[in-house]
A and B are shown apart, each in its own frame.
Chain A
Amino acid sequence: MSTNVPVIDAHPTISEPPKNYLNCSRGFMSWAGTLDHKRIGIMYLIGVSAAFLAGGVFALLVRLHLWEPHGMLFTNETYNQIFTLHGAFMVFIFVIPAIPGSLGNMVLPLMLGAKDVALPRLNLLSFYLWCGGTLLATLAIVLGGFDTGWTFYAPYSLYTDQAVVSIGLGIFLLGFSSIFTGLNFIVTTHKLRAPGLTWFRMPLFVWAIYATAILQVLATPVLGITVLLVAFERLYNIGIFDPRLGGDPVLFEHFFWFYSHPAVYIMVLPAFGIISELVTVHSRKPLFGYKLMAFSALAIAIISFLVWGHHMFTSGQSTFAMFAFSFLTFFVAIPTAIKEFSWVATIWKGSIALNSPMLYTLAFLIIFAIGGLTGVILGALNVDLHLHDTYFVVAHFHYVMMGSIALAFFAGLHHWWPKMFGIMYDETLAKIACALIFIGFNATFIPQFIMGSQGMPRRYATYVPEFEGYHHASTIGAVILGSGVALMVYYLLASLLIRKPAMQNQWGGVTLDWLTPTPPPLENFATPPSVTTEVYDYSTLDYESLRTPVR
């Protein structure tokens, strides 16, 4: 075995900032070819944020078009392409990779006390696969767009005369990007934990990412084969989804939802992880029911494989399938309820700091309760027969995807921003933006619940006049929401120029990610960490680090 020679920095000059992962090397290739998980995390962050803004612009176009009952801007066909693009960008390019790719990459090895993820090369590959997939999806727009809806339901997706193959292959790449990220995180969690960091001392963010990773590895290949089969259908008519050739469109739905239901938990579990971290740090109180929280993340992951049929209650399934899928759907609500209540209990009697990450977290807790509970309404068989494919469903999944996951992503971004860059953004603007987003979000989607239960179908370029008022409200809400997002983009970018130094431990966290220097050095820790205390033990908090600015 070799000996570890410690690096002795004999004459640290006061004026020169210490070396960290951001300033240790320069130049384009030092980023594009980097194997450092933190740099890859930053690249992901830039990528997924751009995807979110692009998806958001499509969303605004959708909302503007729907201002008038006969549609204000586009032909019906263009409208269909725009909402498809919106859905596909938001789901496959933004929300699935967003948290694991950016914050997961950045924080997971830090939390584990590892020098990097287990397979750094694979990590870079999965980022480039993401780029490739995004490129193909964008190419599909140039090749004439695609108007199938993000679900690609056969047989329409087989007949429509548009760039379905390109987007299909794009999704195949994105799928493998997601698989490789998950695989990497599983191995890292198993093998690279610091000494003393037992399974039940891991921060919950790690548990959440771990549970997500299991889903990514086990569910995504089915999506891969599904889009390949659709591509084959279009290339050489294999006929298994095409009713003209004896195929069965409902089989496609099974294939698609076998992935895409677990996928919604691929999206939401990392968000749960972020919220679990943030409620404890900003309440300075150990997480309530830690073990139950860890197990419920795993329980959600496992049950979620068995409920996909709830998207197909109207497709004419057998009675037994209806029975089983509805029953299991309700079961997912239980571990989720445990989580929701435990977060609230963590905040209860804490020392609650109302800073911007915490405001986003509170917004999450409120919005997710609505989003999840409306999911439960949809799980009720006969009610779903009325609500399926109406705006009620649209509102449900925006409450969970935009209102919960995107907000959790923002919360995590604000929380770890000082860690990542060593600088702080403008807190006042951050609070204003959070308020705008919260108000705008609810104004956008509450009207959609109402019109949905009154029967407004989704994916409608035009609609009957009685829904006009609700659509007006929704569009106005989206504009408020958009201005909140724009404000957030502004002050985050501005903070990079203003460079107001953050504190070493900006919020007073006690997990390993806050114990390493800010921003972290290249291999994360100056001395190899080891863990001796239970997780979230705030009695160990070094209050000095909260007031020591980053050099």
Chain B
Amino acid sequence: MFAQLIQDPAKINYVENPAKPPEIDAWGQLPKLASTFDHVDGLFYFTYIVCIFFFVVILGALLFSVVKYRRKTWDQPAASNVTHNTPLEVVWTIVPLIIVMIMFAWGFKGCMDMTVVPEAASRNTYKATAKQWNWTFTYPNHATPSFNEVWIEVNKPVQFLCESTDVLHAFFIPVMRVKRDIVPGRFQSVWFHPIEIGEFHLFCAEYCGDDHSRMYAKVHVVSAEEFATAPWDKWDDTTPALAAKSGESLYKNLCQTCHSVNGTPAVGPTWKGLFTKQGDTFVGRQREVIEGGAKKTITVDEAYITESVRKPDQKKVAESPYDKNNMTAFPDLDERRIKGLIEYMKSLAAAQ
């Protein structure tokens, strides 16, 4: 019973290839800001200093009292019996009041900047679709989407319209200081103005189930020239070997969470043995599936795999426990990518 609680080294699910760690800013606390939302940092450090100030005052008063007024004999009475000091009480009510009102006003102003989407950003609107446990990004003027990685142009305000197809998620880019919960059934919008080139983390910050911590995307902020080449749309399939290589990287991004390639069972069936190499041709394995309630045996081929990706519920693998697990559908994956994935599956067979 306990065995299944313990992590199996072969099935570790974690972010394999995250972005480089962000630099820490000069004050040593926050990751270096890469957008224009500097009110967050300003207010954060302001409150930070206020905290340290009060902390030092309180600590100082306590230490001083404890040293100076420590009870030396067991029946020593207090040095003073004062119970009130109205001026002092007024001061320590008014001063914190003033301080928190500053914080409130500052915070509200900063928040308004972050929630009111400027015209320029709404003209550069991406769509981010969150589902358990991956991200799909659709670009403003480009048909090909990208998965778990997104490219944006530096110095150009951008808006993300976020949508969830299942449970709550949250869109969180620490260096941009943005976070927004993604509520199924609503569109939530986030905007920011990136000003640094680099690769950054995008985390899912709202708990969404088993692989919540794996729900990671890499944000590439690139120059306008590089952006114009649509780096996410580079799909090298000039030779079957290159297509397999592209397929492999897509596999790592999208499918690895649920499918292994070495035979270990996971959420979905392993891809090992989907194809076997016989001479020069690849032969698909026999597979029992359930389609519309009826069981039948089919041979795995390209059509079946395409269907498995786009409409996974159409033919469900009949083998336990996969018959009870559901696969996320990827209707947006185009032919070339699916072809690449298939080349990759076949390359697995070739390697045997």
Instruction: State which residues 99-122 of B face A: CB under 8 Å.
Output: 100-101, 103-104, 106-115
Question: Which listed residue, B84, B104, B109, B210, touches A327 by the CB 8 Å rule?
Answer: B104
Question: Which listed residue, B77, B96, B166, touches A337 by the CB 8 Å rule?
Answer: B96
Question: Scoring B residues 42 to 81 as 1 if CB is less than 8 Å from chain A, else 0, what string do you get?
Answer: 0110011011001100110110011001110011111111
Identify the stretch in A164-172, A384-392, A485-493, A510-518 within 8 Å (CB) of chain B at 4 or more residues: A384-392
Question: Which listed residue, A74, A365, A455, touches B201 by the CB 8 Å rule?
Answer: A455
> A76 near B54 (CB under 8 angstroms)?
no
B209 in the interface, Cβ–Cβ < 8 Å?
yes
> B15 near A462 (CB under 8 angstroms)?
yes
Assess A465 versus B18: contact at CB under 8 Å? Given A388-B179, A453-B30: yes
Question: Which listed residue, B78, B104, B174, touches A349 by the CB 8 Å rule?
Answer: B78
B143 in the interface, Cβ–Cβ < 8 Å?
no
A23 in the interface, Cβ–Cβ < 8 Å?
no
Assess A370 versus B180: contact at CB under 8 Å? Given A243-B185, A249-B168, A459-B212: no
Q: How far is the CB of B79 from chain A (nearest CB, A)?
A: 4
Question: Which listed residue, A249, A286, A385, A460, touches B183 by the CB 8 Å rule?
Answer: A249
Question: Which listed residue, B59, B62, B70, B178, touches A385 by the CB 8 Å rule?
Answer: B178
> A333 near B107 (CB under 8 angstroms)?
no
Q: How far is the CB of B150 from chain A (nearest CB, A)?
A: 17
> A546 near B210 (CB under 8 angstroms)?
no
Assess A149 versus B207: contact at CB under 8 Å? Given A380-B107, A382-B39: yes
A450 in the interface, Cβ–Cβ < 8 Å?
yes
Question: Which listed residue, B6, B59, B111, B203, touches A74 by the CB 8 Å rule?
Answer: B6
Q: How far is the CB of B292 from chain A (nearest CB, A)?
A: 23
B309 in the interface, Cβ–Cβ < 8 Å?
no
Which B-chain residue is minimally distant from A65 (CB atoms)?
B7
Assess A341 versus B208: contact at CB under 8 Å? Given A75-B8, A380-B47: no
Question: Scoring A residues 149 to 172 as 1 if CB is less than 8 Å from chain B, else 0, what string do you get?
Answer: 100010110011000000000000
> B177 near A69 (CB under 8 angstroms)?
no
Bound-complex Cα distance A287 to B47 (A): 30
B320 in the interface, Cβ–Cβ < 8 Å?
no
- Taking residues whose C-beta sits less than 8 angstroms from the other chain, chain A's interface range is 35 or more
> A455 near B111 (CB under 8 angstroms)?
no
> A389 near B170 (CB under 8 angstroms)?
yes
Question: Scoring A residues 271 to 297 as 1 if CB is less than 8 Å from chain B, else 0, what string do you get?
Answer: 000000000000111111110100000
Q: How far is the CB of B212 from chain A (nearest CB, A)?
A: 6
A338 in the interface, Cβ–Cβ < 8 Å?
yes
> B213 near A460 (CB under 8 angstroms)?
yes
A200 in the interface, Cβ–Cβ < 8 Å?
no
Which residues of chain B have C-beta atoms less than 8 A from A380's C-beta?
Answer: 43-44, 47, 103-104, 106-107
> A289 near B89 (CB under 8 angstroms)?
yes
> B184 near A249 (CB under 8 angstroms)?
yes
A199 in the interface, Cβ–Cβ < 8 Å?
no
How many contacts A-B (CB < 8 Å)?
303
Q: How far is the CB of A441 from chain B (nearest CB, A)?
A: 15
Which A-chain residue is minimally distant from B91 (CB atoms)?
A341
Bound-complex Cα distance A3 to B216 (A): 77
A211 in the interface, Cβ–Cβ < 8 Å?
no
> A348 near B65 (CB under 8 angstroms)?
yes
Which B-chain residue is minimally distant from A247 (CB atoms)?
B185
Which B-chain residue is minimally distant from A380 (CB atoms)?
B107
Instruction: State which residues 323-349 of A face B: CB under 8 Å.
Output: 323, 326-327, 330-331, 333-334, 337-338, 340-342, 344-345, 347-349
Bound-complex Cα distance A283 to B96 (A): 26
> B183 near A315 (CB under 8 angstroms)?
yes
Which residues of chain B have C-beta atoms less than 8 A from A370's C-beta?
Answer: 51, 55
Which residues of chain A have C-beta atoms less than 8 A from B76's C-beta?
Answer: 284, 351
Question: Which listed residue, A155, A327, A454, A466, touches B167 by the CB 8 Å rule?
Answer: A155
New A-B contacts (19) at CB < 8 Å, excluding given A349-B78, A385-B111: A76-B214, A78-B7, A156-B168, A156-B207, A286-B81, A314-B170, A323-B108, A326-B108, A334-B97, A344-B65, A347-B65, A354-B66, A373-B50, A379-B104, A380-B103, A382-B108, A383-B110, A386-B177, A466-B21
Query: 26 A–B contact pairs at CB < 8 A?
Result: A71-B7, A71-B12, A71-B14, A75-B6, A80-B209, A159-B166, A248-B185, A283-B69, A284-B71, A326-B107, A330-B103, A333-B100, A345-B88, A348-B69, A379-B104, A380-B107, A381-B107, A381-B110, A381-B111, A382-B40, A382-B109, A385-B179, A455-B22, A461-B212, A462-B214, A464-B15
Question: Interface of B with A (CB < 8 Å)?
Answer: 4-8, 11-15, 18, 21-22, 24, 29-31, 37, 39-40, 43-44, 47-48, 50-51, 54-55, 58-59, 61-62, 65-66, 69-71, 74-85, 88-89, 92-93, 96-97, 100-101, 103-104, 106-115, 166-168, 170, 172, 174-175, 177-181, 183-186, 188, 201, 203-214, 216
